[in-house]
Structure 1
Amino acid sequence: MSRGFRIESLEIEGFRAFNLPRKFKLGDARFILLIGPIGSGKSSVLKAIEYALYGSSYEITRLGPVRLKHEDVINDFKDMLNIELVLGGEHELRVVRSRKRGGVGKLRVYIDNRPVKGEAESFLRSCIVLGHEDFLREIVIHHLILRDIVEGGPVRRSVALDRLFGIEMLEQTYKSIPLTIVEKKIDELKMRIKEVDLELARIGSLYTPQELKSLEADIERLREKVSTIQQEYDYIENLLTKLEEARLKYGLLLERYSNLESQLEDIEKRLEEVEEVSTVELISDMEDVLENTISFLRDMLYEDIIKEIPRGDEISLSEKVLKSTSKALDVVSSIVRDLEFKLEDLVNERMEYKRRYDVLRSRKLDLESEIERLLHYRYEYMKLVKKYGIPDDIEKRIEQKESEFLRLNRKSRQLRNLWDLLKILIDRLRLEKKIECPVCGSKLVEDDLKKILERKDRLEKKELVDTITRMERIEKEIEKLREILDRIKELEEKVRKLEELELEREELERKTSKLNNILQHAEENIHIVRDKIGRAKHLEVRLQDLISKLSTYLERKDLIEKQKELHSKLKSIKEELEKLKYEEDRYLKLKKKREELRRTLFENRVKLESMLKDYERTKKELEKAHYLFKNKELLEKKLRDLETLHKRLKSVRNLLRVVQADLRTRMLERIRSNMNKTFRQLYVHPDLVEVDIRAVEVAKRSIYEIYVRRSSDGEWVPIYSKLSDGQRLMIALSLLLSIYKLYPHNIDFILLDEPFANINGECRKSILKLLARTDSPQQVLIATQDETIISLIKKIIDKDKIIVYKLTYGGVEGPRVTRIH
């Protein structure tokens, strides 16, 4: 299979220990060593790689034991950090991440030196594939994680392993179940029930139903007394009412006589002021104006109003005609107002349609621009589908290629095994001259050596080389097909979006045409309404003038008639005053008696109101007692429900423990074989032969225990009580290296922070040999204080595949970086 991303270069400025810019060129090196004492910036280099890829680091995320802020990783002598990371692979990926103190982070991504447009963070995630937590589990071997596994207690060790397996959420969920809150709520409900009981006891000691019945009887007696007084008061009030009516009528007659005299004087003055109007001229104007009014109202479809307007012989100088004309004026004025409102609505409507028309045209232009931009994606999509087929076909071809690759891989291993066997036979024949074949058991002598050498040479130069060549070719084909598949899927989204935009453009064209027609119609309506308003206003002025003249004529006529009527009324009032009889003394005595009864009635009503308040207070307290009793029943029901919930939550917590134990067991089954294989390659001593991690129950919870089998007696023993720190560290490294191979990803480097503490030289050598294998990560970055690692690596791998940077303390400027190999 093709290799993933490797680190080609890294430049750091203003990040953690680094103040001034420092650049690390890694190229094609297999091993990169960062050598230096404590505090020289080795770990800062590894964390810079992590921060460049994810915009965060181990200490900032929840995985860190000490939570830091983004501000904390900016160098104390800088206001900004800047990290540039270049990754090599099928394409060159350059990641530039910066952050100002007090600001937000910025990310720029370049693919083959071309800037990525759009959401850079999403694009980077799609390239790297691994999430941040997966990166910390699978790529970074951190000394803090090793310490938790090697030195931590059962709980700390279990938390660390759960994080490595990606199942730590179960423990967090278990701790988040609020049993304590439910228990507190249960205690609160019990306290409230106790308070209700105390209140019920208080009410029972102060108020009884018998007291309520006694109050009801006293209230009824007082109501009867109030009723008797009220009847006597009503009788006197009735008599006074009749006398007051007579008294009022007497006063009114006097007042009316005075008013009539005043009115007669005013009418005579008004007659002198009102001028006379020509009857013939008034009728002529009336006929002309009313005819125009009828014509206008008929045009406006007011047929009901036209029927009320007089015509021909119906026209006269009367109040009826005035009312009809006034009503016609009101209608015309109303029409003017309606037309003006309608004109305003039409103008606003036209402006709204114009605005919507402009918005649609603007959107249409934007759509056409976007469609033009997306057209080439459709061409590229059709071209790829025509050449390679649909995604399902490509996936089938990938599966076929992968099957062939696996078959060749098995064949390659068989050929290597055969080559190893032939080499062993050649070496033994050269030493012993005569041996027994370990496969078939036949005797081999020195004469057979030539045949074996020929077979080994043929195997080495042709069969094995051909197989590996075919595997590499197939691997490249698979990688190319996968890239094409990803591109087709990406283009499918672009083409789908293009089709949606084309449909939207057609809909916009239809709406634009419709709105244009509406705008033309609106302009025509505005012109028509303006003409009607002008005609209606002219008619309104003429009607007002006609009504003014007719009103003057009718007013003079009415004043003359009223003058005659007032003379007659004054004579009649004089006669009525003489006939009316009224006694003022009797009226005053009855009025005094009414006031005495009113005072007595008020006092008894106040007393009745006080008794009613006492009655209502007693009644409310008894009702409150009834409500408290019902509330107590509800509280007791809630208490029972909460106690049931408490039991269920405890069951859920217990179930989470069962699920946690099951998931831990399954993860251990997946990793156990690969971990033991790695351990046997790392641990060179014969005393320990196998490692096992077990999920065991302790105090109703599942924890991890790590055991190792001794070769001396075959017994499984716990590593924390029987093994040294170095042996435990070897086991932890085996686990972490096996996790790297457990999940598929496209990152082909691994970061190790101080991995060799308490490990002897032979075991260190075996660790480096394992990391140098072809099936291991193709780039290994190691941060360590131990300079002896350099000589060990040089014995294992070619010197040109090794880069060593030495870091030393540089004060305010940050670490000094020197490439020493």
Structure 2
Amino acid sequence: MGVKLRRLEVKCFRGFSSHRVFDFPDGITLIIGPVGAGKTSILSAIQFVFFGTDFYAGLGVIQRESLVNVGCREAFVRLYFEVTGEGVYKLERRLARADGRLVEHVALETPTGEVFEGPSKVEGVIEEILGMDFQEFIRSASLSYVLVHMLAYGRSLTRSRALDILLGINAVRSFHESISLNRVRSSLERVRAELATLRSEYEEAVRNLSVLSEKRAQIASEVEDIEKRLGELSARVEALRPVAEKYESLKREIEGERSYVSKLRERVKHAPSEVDLYKILEEAEGLKHSLRDILERLKAPQKLLEALEHLTFTSENTGSALADLEKIVDEAWSHYDRVWEDFQASAREVELKKAELAALEKVLVELEPSATEYEEAEERVQELESKYGKASELEEEVRKLEQEIKETSRKIQISRSLLQLKQVLIEEASKRRSVQCQVCGTTLDSRSIEKVEEGVEQLTRSIVDLERKLSESEKRLRELREVLEDLRGLKVLLVSRELEYEKYKEYLERKESLDEEVREDEIKLREKEREYKELSAILTRVDERAHDLRRRFAEQEVVSEILKAEGRLRKLEEELAEYEPKYKEYVTAKSELDSLTKEKDSLNAQLKTLEESVVVDQVKRLEEKIHSLENELAELESLYSRLERIKSATREILTELRRKRIEELNRKINEILRAVYPAEQVRAVELEVVEKRKKGTAPTSYYEVFVEVGGTKYRFSELLSDGQKTIVVLSLLLAIYSQIRRNIDFVMLDEPLPNVDDRIKVNFLKSLSTVLDIRQAILTTQAEDIAKRIEGVNIIQL
């Protein structure tokens, strides 16, 4: 049974965002395109549709969700593959993003129409058809340049592990490496150390048994001596106990009396001299006179003054008189409050006047522009009338000037007409001997023309005089008209502003009157306020002193009680001093008794811990532990010996398996190498199993690749170029593929020779089918030119 690929359909898988179809006939298929065109994505799609992942996702290089194109929600891959003797299978796999997770659907349809669904069921069938799982597939049937690079440039140990997997002996190597002698060896060392410690403890416990009896006898003797002393001390303490109880009772009584005195003293706030009755009476009379002065200044009711006058202070009525004094002080405060309220009312009236004054000032500010305009207009009218006269006089003068200007203009017009006529006559006369005037008919000759010329000069001077007079009159008329117009406008303004001006004058007079009233009221208020505040301060001092006198009078009884309590306290302290020597003797004996009792308890506790049974039990437990550890040690030594033999046997088996696997493999490697790389530089390649030994440890075996160059044998990594290393490793992988390809009849190579020239690539492609004896090979490459140099190659151009 051989499996060959026929058609691949992809959509939204990795680099493909649209639906694409690729066909794979028998022979060689080259997938050609630049970097990023999607060549590797085609091979990844085949891996994905078979096993649900690809080379990079399987290694954890990328997340599985990265297989879905970034612009899509679901990746779709469908593969048609042919199985010799059965027909064509159709395999579909979908991977979708949904609610932050991946949802996968896979279905396999057989040539007979049977359908398998579900990842686990389908992949089980696929592994059975291909004869390999995913790991075997990507290491033999679908070779990545990453795997080639790892084998070409990796460490010897990494290369050996990969080759064991490819050659199918990884399980033996894993079993060999799982046998850990170090763990058993460390357990042996631990048990031996623990056993030595227990044996040391056992010897110490045995020695302790020999000294245990002597120690117990010594402690028992000490306990007996202490018990005798305890009996004597107990009798002594009991004899002194009544004295101690009496002493402690007196002490408690003294503490109570001291506390009582302390509390009484807290109630006394004044010195003893200040609570003297005669001093209190004297100060009370002084307060009475001060209070009378205050009441008179406040103009208090006569009833209140009479009550104060009738108040007398004697030693018999001091308490009641002081109480009456405080009542009168309270009534004085009440009267003061009423007086102060009246004062506040007066102050409020002043504030109202201030508010009115502020309102007037605001109105005056608003009216001031109109008043100023009125006054300025009135002043301008007076100025114009004083200079030009009243409006009626100006009107009369204007009429006269108008008549005068009209008459003068008429005269100038007539004079100009005469002047023009005479000038024409003179001009005509100069042309002819005589000329007749067309106006009056007079004939003029040369003699009369001279007179006419004289008349022209006079007439010219007359016209100039008339024109000057006319100009002056017109100027005067314009001036008077302007003045008259100003007077009329000013009078209109005066009429329009007259009412506002009258209000302004009225409000101004009211403001000046209020200003004076407010100033006088504020002076009176300040004087009253100063007087009332002074009276308030005096009344406050009188009030405080009246209350203080009451407190001082009340403290007289407390002072008397303090003196009595101090007398009792002195008697108790004297009695306590008599009992104190015996009490000290009691305390000393009691302390010694307690100390000996503790010492006795401590010795009894030591006796309890020194019981022979405790030490005997310890010895028995140690013996049991030692016996148990000796058995465990024997078992571990036996296990270690057996494991050493097993480890050695598996190492020999692994080495032998490796040698057997590479005997046929070396022949195939060189056959492939000579076919794909006919150059003379590398004569032969040999894969060997090399053993490495380190002092104190078992030998290890691994693969080493040697090459023959120029008749000399070299290690694979010492001499070859990067391209030659790639060719050797690729020959090795293809040789392995030829041995373990199982049921498949195709191979997929992802950029197998990236760093060799086109000639070698062409030769490799031409000889690939022959050396591997396969029907189908799919390769990716960026070298587009090599396709033109090979006949019969199927090309997928991206």
* TM superposition score category, shorter chain reference: 0.3 to 0.5
Query: Which of structures 1 and 2 has the bigger CA Rg?
Result: 2
TM-score where L is the length of structure 1: 0.44
The TM-score with structure 2 as length reference comes to 0.45
